[in-house]
Amino acid sequence: MPSIFETSSTPSAVPITFVTKSSWPGIKESLSPEARNFAEANVYAAKPGSCLILPGSDGRIAQVLFGIEDADARHRDLFRPGSLPGLLPTGIYRFANAPHDARLAALAFALGSYRFGRYRKAEEPDVRLVPPDGVDAAELDRLADAACLARDLVNTPSNDMGPEELEAAAKQVAERFGARFSSIVGDELLQQNHPLIHAVGRASTRTPRLIELNWGDADHPKVTLVGKGVCFDTGGLDLKPSSSMLLMKKDMGGAANVLALAQMVMDAKLKLQLRVLIPAVENAVAGNAFRPMDVFPSRKGLTVEIGNTDAEGRLILADALALADEDKPELLIDMGTLTGAARVALGPELPPFYTNDEALAADVARCAAAENDPLWRMPLWAPYDSWLDSKVATLNNAPSGGFAGSITCALFLQRFVEPTTRWLHLDIFAWTPSAKPGRPEGGECQAARALYKLLSERYG
Ligand code: BES
Ligand code: MN
Ligand code: ZN
């Protein structure tokens, strides 16, 4: 995504004044009589999100008023200014006064300028912003560019984003930052001992694969990212009903967000050794599809009984996590669009995360809040672990009962990671169902900005 920031000196930039219900009377007084009359004629009341463009005496745009919440409001949306690119005409603007958080406001401005334009000319707004004082515009550009990579990958429909295209996208990121790249494709997955990735992906004419990217100095601590890359999830033989299948092009959202995070890390040259693993498959229906009650070995050695072919994400992540764990990373992070239960519990905007490392949990929660990239901790609740028991195998991929679905998924994955590994798991949604400021409808970058902050604090 091209930068929206105007870094050359532009004295003519149109000022945007942020107003709240309580600051509005004073600001109104300070306006010229014409502008005040214009605001009154428009019944402008500084409601959060409301925008008024004030003409000057020459009829040109002189100033913009934009409502935000008062400082003591029950909820302040720090991304509110992210709706401005969709409201303002083409031009160059600057903040005349400080919104609650100028950095997040400018970031929201950049994130709110995104439109998905692969199949028709994007109505991407041409609204540029002079970076507020003290804000690192180059950093915001890097974050927004990576976030929009994740959005583009998720928004691209499955016919143009199969396992092979996802591999090509990952390779492009690798080449851009000089990372090493490899991939294990098709039956080679069996030879290299990835039976679960193969089982899930084998029914598709679009060959399953395990994508790998490596970057950074071998002397630095190793951080490994694993992302669920289900390029379409029909549910397999336990087929999804049409309403549930509709959005399943987004089922590679974990992979997209892991790539976004990897790009942020590489672009900022953090002092870590980065490994990215993306099991990429299509969960399809065909004569050779894996079936309910099939039993498969796994890379870790545990045998897995298939309770439901629609619980496929945890299967491919299980093999990838086992591989990731073999070289003992200092930090192992996985994310994926794993359960509908996560959305039922916390809604689409607040993905749950899981870890047994208390210091890591506190850092994740703090970074998520600071970056307005919300995440909420849920427990690896050991008493539910027995729900994964199978009568014929080490464990079952889909506990019956349907209680605590996001937790039991996390517990399933935990079996494939050594207890000594510092491990973080995120069950993301990767989608904005209806547009919010700074968050256009469609594919969304979730958790990557929060985790980038965490990694830059630890390895900056
Ligand atoms: N990709 C889905 C989860 C999903 C569904 C995420 C809707 C976001 C929105 C996943 O593969 C899945 O189907 N999970 C099942 C698990 C169940 C069969 C144990 C689910 O959540 O119903
Ligand atoms: Mn599924
Ligand atoms: Zn899925």
Annotation marks residue 240 as catalytic: yes
pLDDT at 416 over 90: yes
| Atom from ligand 1 closest to the CA of residue 397 | 19
Percent of the chain with pLDDT over 90: 96
Residue 214 has what pLDDT? 98
Minimum-distance ligand 1 atom for the alpha carbon of 283: 11
333 pLDDT above the threshold of 80: yes
**Does 121 have pLDDT greater than 90?**
no
Interval between CA 209 and ligand 2 midpoint (Å): 18
Ligand 1: residue whose CA is nearest its atom 5 = 340
Residue-level pLDDT at 123: 76
pLDDT of residue 335: 98
Q: Model-level pTM greater than 0.95?
A: yes
Catalytic residue check, 47: no
Residue 122: its pLDDT value, please? 75
389, two tokens = 């028991």
Q: What is the pLDDT of residues 153-162, one digit of tens each?
A: 999 999 999 9
Average pLDDT of 69-94? 97
Summarize pLDDT for 358-409 with one digit per residue, the tens: 999 999 999 999 999 999 999 999 999 999 999 999 999 999 899 999 999 9
Query: Pick the residue with more confidence: 98 or 213?
Result: 213
pLDDT at residue 265, rounded to an integer: 98
Domains 14-135 and 142-459 share a fold: no
Summarised one tens digit per residue, pLDDT across range 106-118 is: 999 999 999 999 9
Cα 283 to ligand 1 centre (Å):
12
Locate 11 and state its tokens: 């004295």
Atom of ligand 1 nearest to the CA of 408: 19
Q: Write down the catalytic residue from 36, 76, 240, 366.
A: 240
Percentage of the residues of the chain whose pLDDT score is greater than 70: 100
Residues with CB under 6 A from ligand 1: 233, 251, 308, 310-313, 337-341, 343, 398, 405, 429
Q: Which of 338, 350, 395, 396 is the best mutation target for the ligand 1 pocket, counting ligand atoms within 8 Å of the beta carbon and taking the most?
A: 338
Domain-by-domain residue ranges, the chain? 14-135, 142-459
* pLDDT value, residue 124: 80
Fold of 14-135: Leucine Aminopeptidase, subunit E; domain 1 (3.40.220)
Whether the predicted pLDDT of 444 surpasses 80 = yes
Which residue among 249, 252, 339, 408 is best mutated to probe the pocket of ligand 1, counting the most ligand atoms within 8 A of its Cβ?
339
- Average pLDDT for 419-437: 98
How far is Cα of residue 250 from the mean position of the Cα atoms in its chain? 11
What is the average pLDDT across 253-281?
99
**178 Cα–ligand 3 center, Å:** 31
The residues, any chain, with a CB within 8 Å of residue 160's CB and separated by 6 or more, are 118
* Architecture of the domain whose range is 142-459: 3-Layer(aba) Sandwich (3.40)
Listed residues: CB within 5 A of ion ligand 3: 230, 233, 251, 313
